[in-house]
Every structure is written in structure tokens, then in C-alpha cells.
Amino acid sequence: MPKLKNNALRSWLTIALVAAVFFAMVRANPNASRLRDLTQLEFYSALDEHKVMEPVVRHLDREAGETYLTGELEGGDKFVVRLVPGENERLMDDLLAAGVKVEIREHKSAISPFIMQTLFFVGMMGLMYWFFYRKVGGEGGPFGFGKSKAKILNVKADMKKVTFADVAGVDEAREEVQEIVEFLKEPAAFKKLGGRIPKGVLLVGPPGTGKTLLAKAIAGEANVPFFAMSGSDFEEMFVGVGASRMRDMFAEAKKRAPCIVFIDEIDSIGMKRTGAGAMGGSHAYEQTLNTMLVEMDGFDANEGVIVIAATNRPDTLDAALLRPGRFDRQVVVELPTLKGRTEILELHGKKIKFAEGTDLNQIARGTPGFSGADLANLLNEAALLAVRKKLEAVDMATLEEARDKVLWGRERKSAGYSQKERETTAWHESGHALLQLLVKHADPLHKVTIIPRGRALGATMSLPEKDILNRTRSYFLDQMVVCCGGRIAEQLFTGDISTGASQDIRQVTEIAREMVCRYGMSDKFGFQAFAEESRWTAEPLPPAFSEETSRAIDEEVSRLVSEAYKIAEKLIGENREKLEKLATTLIEKETMDGAEVRALLGLEEAAAETSSEEA
């Protein structure tokens, strides 16, 4: 706020100075205000025609050496007549003879010419200062490249205070950063025992998990200034700008210590250094990184400035940035668990009016893998749907519809596709849904629909009953079987195949390859991994295995997919009547939930003993 007041004060002073110079020039030269300049001949003509109104004023300006007449003509026009030396007395006599009343005024300049010139010079200098240093040299101007673009927020005045009470679903991460707040509140207690607070904290986690919100909560709890900047804000088209902005940001932060500097998406300036650019020189971002390394742990003291950074790509960061003394601590902000999702929904749901019987815990169970941002978006979509439906409160059906929209896209009921396409889609989705119930290790069936959602003509939705952090080989094998069900059902009852299985083919192939190359779930290769991690090198590296091994991997992937396809064909052949029944009903209803499908087919929650684990 003080900075804004100073800027406003300077602007008003500049305006006042310009206005003073303008009025000084006007007072020094009253002729500037006249409207019509008459010659003596024109004046005599108007005088003869009795168009000159009384009184006429004669002005004497001894400093400027001027004498002139002012007055008003008939019709309201103002006039001024310059008097030539030697003719003044004759003109005055003519006015008296015509009976026109004349007033004589002696004009004295309120400001001397010297003062006027001085004010004009000072005003021009002020305008030049304001233009070049405030506009051209400031932030955003062509000479202000090196200025930091960090937003300096004071949690006491400039922004809504965010505390740990506003952060939900990340209990472990919140506990880890709690001691930073305690240090910012009472730094003497740490120094007394010889303790040193971490200079930097790196928040690592998927997008939308609340890393930025957690940093704001730290500043809000400690009541200290908060510098916020994105990693991309440091770079410009000119080399060296990022390093200059980094130095300027830390210089400002040291003046306001204790404070927090938050850098979002730090991987854009903190990537691993390769040593040489495309033309043999260093990359521009490396200069920014080197400056940051020195500022965080160099020769200059950096007491009271805590750097918090966020990224979802920690594997790309330079090792020098992660060593003790810089980013001493890495805080993992994972996707929320079932308990965390419930807390997040309750936190964001405080502003939403819910109908009686609404169970947020049930929505939390049906949203595994959702981040905090996804859950907030889900509640917002539910509120918008309730408004469109003209409901007085958000009910459970609206919440589930919003969840399905976020997960699989909005229903496209107006998508005009033929009856044959509807039937093909019904057979396809029925094949997936039936196998979802028959195999043993698949996730429970949630809903099946032939109404287009997003880019898909239909969808079979399954949701796990609880958070699953570790998948088994049996699960992957059964999931591959379920993927094959759509194509098999299509071919069995329509005598043809369609492009609707393209996503299924991709998914089953990816599962098989991951089992072989990454998880060591192949009987042929056993406890081996063939997945290559990403490497930040200028030249591509050859694979770490031979062409013969690569060919064997392809054969093993093909075997797993073929066996899953055979099991799916067997299960659908044995339950053909159930498939026909489900497809026929689905064509009529278009959408069925898991309970309706189980009741229709007479299948319970527990799947049959038949499982792809025998593969």
C-alpha cells in the first residue's frame, strides 16, 4: 500500500507542476486567451457601424511593451486590437468622439519572465524524468528488463489471508512445513540451540494437489511478506535478463526479511545443465540457475529469506539445486486419499447449498485419482448443473452427473447417429460390462451407457471401492480381458468390426508392454526391466538391450494380448444369453448403473471363480 500511495503522490505532483507552468505562461501572456484579432481598419469599420459594445478596455503592459484594446462586438464576439506606437492617442480621441466608454488598466505580470522560464525548465525536466525513469525504465518498459516481476503480497493487507485451515487432504505435507512457520514466528528459539532452518523447500506433486495453496498458507500463518513468481517470468528474449531479475528479487526479499519467496514451476529455470547449447555456448536458463544457486547459498548472507518452489517434474532438476544448503527438504504433495478427498469436498462445499441426503463421502469413493483442483471443479460443475435444472439445492443425482461429466465428458444426446450404430455400441459396451462382472479382479461396475460422452459413442465405467496404491498381476490380466470384450461382442452379433475398439486396443497393448518392460510380470523375462527413463542429453542414446531382446519383448506382448482375447471369447461364448439380454435392455434404457445390470443378469457383487489368472 505505501508503494501505491507514493506512486499516486508522484503522479499528482507531476500534474500540478505541469498545470503551474501552463497557468504561469497564460498569466504572463494574456493574449493567449483572445478569440478574434482585429486590425485597426476592421476596428474603425465596426466602430462606424456601431457594433462595438461598451466598455472598451485599454491594456498597458509596460514589461512586455505592449498596448492593446479588448472588448465585445455586437453578437457576443470578443476582440482584441493591437495599438501601434504613435497612433494610440488618435485612436483614443476617435473613441471619445464616438461616445464609447473606455477603461484603462495597467497590466502587471504576476510572475517575472525569469521565474516563468525557470518553472518551464523545471517542468520539462520533471516530464522527462517521469517518462524515461517511470515509464521507459520501470517494470514493463524497454529499459526495465532486469527488474523483478515478482508479486510482493503482504498477507496482512494485500491479499485474503490463507491459513492451514484452508488446506485439506495433505496432512503429511502440512506437518512437514509446520516448523517453517514456527521459525518465521520465533527465529530466536532456533538460533538459541544452534539450529538452522532449511533455506529452501521443494514442493513436489502432480498438478492441482495444492502446492501453491500450501505455500500461501505458510505465509499466512507466519504473517510475513510473500513474493510470488513463476519460473517462466525470469526469461525474456535477451540473454542475462533472467539472472538480473533473480538478483533483483532476492535483493528486494532481503529488505523485507523475514519473508517467503515462492517460485512456481521451477523446472523451467532449474533443469539439469548439459554444459553446452546448440552453438557451443551455455543455455540462457543456466545463467538464471547459476544466479539462483549463488543467491540461495553463496558468500552473501541470506538470513530470513525462505525459498519455496513447486514442480511436478523433480527428475529434471539440477543436482546442485537439490543439495543441502539450497533446497534442503523435499515435501511430496500427493493426490489425496479417500479421507483427504472427503475433507476437500467438505471444505469447498461450505459455499454450496446441498439437498438432504447428499453424501459427499460416496462422491469421494467414486473419485479416486482426483486432485484437489479436480474436486473443486466437480463441485462447481454440480452447482452449475443445479442452476440449469432450476433446483433449489444440489442433490446426489446432480453430483454424480457432474462427476461423470468430469471423468468421461458431457453427454451428447443430440449427436445424431443411426439405429445400427446405436445397436453396435450397445453390443460393444455390453461386452465390456459383462466381462467386468465375470472376471474376479476387476474394479466394480459403476455404470454403462450408449449415450455419447466426450468423443466416445458409449462408455462402461468402473470405480474402485477404495484407494488402491499397488496393482497386482491378476488385476492387469483381468483388465486386458475386459478391454477385449467390446470387439468380441461386436463381431459375434453384427458379423463385422468397427473403429470403436481403437482405444481398447491401445489400452490392452500398453498394459501388456508395461507388464513386460516395467513391472517384471512376464513369465519369459521374469525379474527384469526394459523401460528406459528419460535422459536430458543432446544426443539420443541407444536402447540398453539388443535387437533380439526387443523382438522377444514384442513376441511376449503379443502372447499376453492373444491369451487375454481367447479368455474373453470363452467367457462371452459361455454367457451369450446374458449378453443378448443386457444389450437389448441397454438399447431401450440407454443408461444403466451397476446395480441394475447385476439385478438384470442375476449376478452378485462377487465375481465368478473364472479368472484370467489361469493365463
Q: Which domain-ending residue is among 347, 376, 407? A: 407
Both 423 and 535 in one domain: the answer is yes
CA angle at 442 for the pair 441 and 446, rounded to the nearest 5°: 145
Task: Say if CB 56 and CB 95 are below 8 A apart.
Answer: yes
Exactly one of 176, 286, 429, 556 is catalytic; name it.
429
Greatest Cα-to-Cα distance within the chain, rounded to the nearest angstrom: 132
Both 61 and 81 in one domain: the answer is yes
98: containing domain = 2-113
* Omega prior to 258 cis, within 30 of 0: yes
Both 555 and 443 in one domain: the answer is yes
> Over 70: is that where the pLDDT of 313 sits?
yes
Structural domain includes residue 578: yes
d(CA 424, CA 404): 22
Helix (H, G, I), strand (E, B) or coil at 570: helix
Q: What is the mean pLDDT of residues 511-525?
A: 91
Task: Say if CB 214 and CB 202 are below 8 A apart.
Answer: no
The amino acid sitting at 314 is P
Q: Would you state the pLDDT for residue 136?
A: 45
Average pLDDT of the chain is: 77
Both 312 and 453 in one domain: the answer is no
Q: Would you state the pLDDT for residue 135?
A: 47
Helix (H, G, I), strand (E, B) or coil at 538: coil
Both 327 and 346 in one domain: the answer is no
Q: How many CB atoms neighbour CB 133 within 10 A?
A: 13
Structural domain includes residue 141: no
Q: How confident is the model at residue 377 (pLDDT cuts 50, 70, 90)?
A: very high
* Residues 307-338 as b or e (16 or more Cβ within 10 Å = b): bbbbbeebeebbebbbeeebbbbebebbbbbb
Q: Which strands, in side-by-side order, build the sheet including 200-204? A: 151-154, 225-230, 259-264, 305-311, 200-204, 327-332
Q: Would you state the pLDDT for residue 512?
A: 95
The amino acid sitting at 410 is R
Q: Would you state the pLDDT for residue 177?
A: 84
Residue 47 sits in a domain whose CATH number is 3.30.720.210
d(CA 463, CA 367): 8
The residue written with cell numbers 442433490 in the block is: 395
Q: Would you state the pLDDT for residue 456?
A: 75
Structural domain includes residue 127: no
> Over 70: is that where the pLDDT of 84 sits?
no
The dihedral through the CA atoms of 215, 217, 221, 227 has a sign that is: positive
Both 452 and 566 in one domain: the answer is yes
Q: Which domain-ending residue is among 332, 361, 383? A: 332
* Residues 478-497 as b or e (16 or more Cβ within 10 Å = b): bbbbbbbbbbbbbbbbeeee
* Residues 499-519 as b or e (16 or more Cβ within 10 Å = b): ebbeebeeebbebbbebbbee
Structural domain includes residue 454: yes
Both 353 and 383 in one domain: the answer is yes
Residue 351 sits in a domain whose CATH number is 1.10.8.60
Both 456 and 578 in one domain: the answer is yes
Both 398 and 527 in one domain: the answer is no
The residue written with cell numbers 500427493 in the block is: 334
Q: What is the DSSP letter of 274?
A: -
Most confident of 144-148, 155-159, 271-275, 577-581: 577-581
Q: Would you state the pLDDT for residue 25?
A: 55
DSSP secondary structure string, 44-59? Answer: HHHHHTT-BPSPEEEE
Reported pTM: 0.65
d(CA 375, CA 361): 12
pLDDT digits 0-9 by tens, 451-497: 887 677 888 888 776 777 788 999 999 999 999 999 999 998 888 88
DSSP secondary structure string, 195-238? Answer: ----SEEEEE-STTSSHHHHHHHHHHHHT-EEEEEEGGGG--SS
d(CA 128, CA 139): 17
Structural domain includes residue 129: no
Q: Which strands, in side-by-side order, build the sheet including 37-38? A: 37-38, 78-82, 66-72, 56-61, 102-107
Structural domain includes residue 138: no
Residue 557 sits in a domain whose CATH number is 1.20.58.760
d(CA 33, CA 59): 14
Q: How many CB atoms neighbour CB 2 within 10 A?
A: 8
pLDDT digits 0-9 by tens, 221-244: 878 888 888 777 776 655 567 777
Which residues lie below 8 Å from residue 147, measured CB to CB, with a gap of 6+? 138, 139, 245, 248
| CA neighbours closer than 13 Å in the CB half-sphere of residue 5 | 2
Q: How confident is the model at residue 153 (pLDDT cuts 50, 70, 90)?
A: low
Which among 252, 247, 204, 206 is positioned nearest to 227, based on CA atoms?
A: 252
Residue 161 sits in a domain whose CATH number is 3.40.50.300
d(CA 59, CA 57): 6
Which among 336, 391, 388, 390 is positioned nearest to 358, based on CA atoms?
A: 391
Both 39 and 164 in one domain: the answer is no
> Over 70: is that where the pLDDT of 345 sits?
yes
Both 298 and 443 in one domain: the answer is no
Q: How far is CA 437 from CA 39, 315, 614, 615, in A?
A: 107, 40, 17, 18
Structural domain includes residue 137: no
Which residues lie below 8 Å from residue 2, measured CB to CB, with a gap of 6+? none
Q: What is the mean pLDDT of residues 442-458?
A: 82
d(CA 118, CA 272): 59
Structural domain includes residue 607: yes
DSSP secondary structure string, 150-203? Answer: -EEEETTTTS----GGG--S-HHHHHHTHHHHHHHH-HHHHHHTT----SEEEE
> Over 50: is that where the pLDDT of 615 sits?
no
pLDDT digits 0-9 by tens, 170-217: 888 888 888 778 877 777 777 777 777 777 889 998 888 888 888 888
Q: Would you state the pLDDT for residue 552?
A: 92
> Over 50: is that where the pLDDT of 128 sits?
yes
Q: Which residue has the higher pLDDT, 553 or 606?
A: 553
N-to-C CA span, the chain: 70
Task: Say if CB 46 and CB 38 are below 8 A apart.
Answer: yes
Which among 273, 197, 271, 260 is positioned nearest to 234, based on CA atoms?
A: 271
Q: Which domain-ending residue is among 314, 332, 350? A: 332
d(CA 29, CA 120): 14
429 is a catalytic site residue? yes
d(CA 354, CA 75): 75
Q: What is the DSSP letter of 78?
A: E
Number of domains in the chain: 4
> Over 50: is that where the pLDDT of 610 sits?
no
Both 324 and 349 in one domain: the answer is no
Helix (H, G, I), strand (E, B) or coil at 411: strand
Which residues lie below 8 Å from residue 251, measured CB to CB, with a gap of 6+? none
